[in-house]
Amino acid sequence: MTTDITIALAQAAEYLKASGQTEKALTAGQRAPDFSLPNQDGEKTSSASILRRGPLLVTFYSGSWCPGCNLSLTALEELRPLIEARGASLVAISPQTVKENARTRRTTQVTLPILCDKGGRIALQFGVRWRIPEVLQTLHLESGIDLPSLHGEDSWTLPIPARFVVDQDGVIAYSEVDPDQTHRSNPSDLLPILDRLWSARGA
């Protein structure tokens, strides 16, 4: 990670903590928003169709420019067989364009779907979208992070790093929201939650 990007991420985390933005995020027990978004190949993927098969693990992914986000994405990819063995599906939701999400899959060598949430509409419904203030926009650009180009629009919004486990009834069983891109829990901590949902299905 370059020093410039490190500074940009640290400033963003401080801003988010001070703003109280994370308190707006949905939590366990609340209903998850329905969504239908294009994947990296431009094909629509809906939460309803996934939930018919089993629970859904959603991770909000800021983008290819973020080293910590890429590490989190690859960690989830490594865990994907264990997630799917528990009857669950895994998707990443990103504000990047379809084309950029396709490039991200190639460069990170992940196979999980990355869905395009243009303008962060679904991130907003989950309560994790935030707008980068102008002073931090400049810092991002100086660090080589040109979000308008990566997103195909200029709202300068990003999702707070977050993970949600949604049960088959569309209710959030687990939520994790942390503005610090460099601090993410081990994704294997999600497996006991999926085990509980799997047991409930067989009850």
Q: Which pLDDT value is given to residue 56?
A: 98
- Tokens 């063995």, residue located: 85
Predicted pLDDT of residue 6:
74
In degrees, rounded to 5, the angle at the alpha carbon of residue 154 between the alpha carbons of residues 151 and 157 is 70
**Interval 138-148 mean pLDDT:** 88
| Complete domains list, the chain, with CATH | 3-197 (3.40.30.10)
pLDDT at res. 44: 97
Is 0.85 surpassed by the pTM of this model?
A: yes
Pairing type for strands 36-38 and 44-46 reads antiparallel
List the end-to-end C-alpha distance of the chain, in Å, as a whole number.
47
The residue written with tokens 């609340």 in the block is: 30
What is the CB neighbour count within 10 angstroms for residue 6? 15
pLDDT at residue 127, rounded to an integer: 96
Handedness of CA 86, 112, 37, 175 (dihedral sign): positive
Side-chain half-sphere of 22: how many Cα atoms within 13 Å?
Answer: 17
Averaged pLDDT, 97-103: 98
Whether residue 203 has pLDDT greater than 60: no
